[in-house]
Amino acid sequence: MATKYLTNMKSYIISLFLFIPVIIFGQNTHEINLTITDTVITVKEGTRRNRYAAKVNVEINVPNLHDTLFLYNFNKYVSAAFFHNEEPFDEYYKDPYFFRGLYFFLEDKNQNTLRNEMILISFARRKDERKSLNSRNFVTSKMQIKKKVLNYFEQRDYDLAKYEITNEKQSLILYPLLGRHPRLSQCEYLYFVYVFEPVFPYIGLPANIANDSHTFKGYFVSNKIKLIVK
């Protein structure tokens, strides 16, 4: 009996420790408001070889900020979220394995979300595949989207994309990579969504970031803005 009791207790304790990180990291102790301050956004509709981004002015507001707060995977060069259904966004942020970081969403004139499905590319040469995997998106002064090959450390910094909040209100510029969206010509509205819910075992994320009390854990959604495609 004693052996069976100890075995059951051991299983209980192990299960408890496995679930504790999920409970802790699922809590959102800060309110963050992301506001697009532009009244309208305009983007060029380019060819496949000459795609354009938009320049968007935003403001981050954290009421009652008492200490520095970090946003990870918050890159100023913002990609579109990949998904396969026309479901509302709240069906996606519930799954932190599927969605992490800052993304933009597009809607048509009826405010239906425009899908952006992932397209897998097959490379004939291994070196071309390596080049693609080691490349990241940037935006030129002419708002063109360009890929640049980065080394390991540059890729790590780009992907972690740490943004530091030190004041209750901060202004910054985001560059949604609109020219890479396959249904850009149909869009009428744009908004941003940020999700960061580090869950055990922190796949692709250093444990010290997930454990840091300064790391924001949760999600927020910006206001919608009118988008004009020329």
pLDDT, tens only, 77-95:
999 876 655 555 555 555 5
Mean pLDDT along residues 200-228:
83
Has residue 96 got a pLDDT over 70? no
159: helix, strand or coil = helix
pTM for the predicted model, two decimal places = 0.80
User: Per-residue confidence at 6, pLDDT binned at 50, 70, 90?
Assistant: very low
Q: Amino acid identity, residue 197?
A: E
* CA-based nearest residue to 223, from 30, 32, 37: 37
Please give the residue that has the higher pLDDT: either 98 or 135.
135
Residue 223 is predicted with a pLDDT of 95
Report the C-alpha gap between 228 and 55 in whole angstroms.
13
Give the CA radius of gyration of the chain. Answer: 20
Mean pLDDT along residues 106-111:
88
Could you give phi then psi for residue 21, rounded to 5 degrees?
A: -60, -40
Q: Are 34 and 221 in contact (CB under 8 A)?
A: yes
Report the C-alpha gap between 78 and 198 in whole angstroms.
20
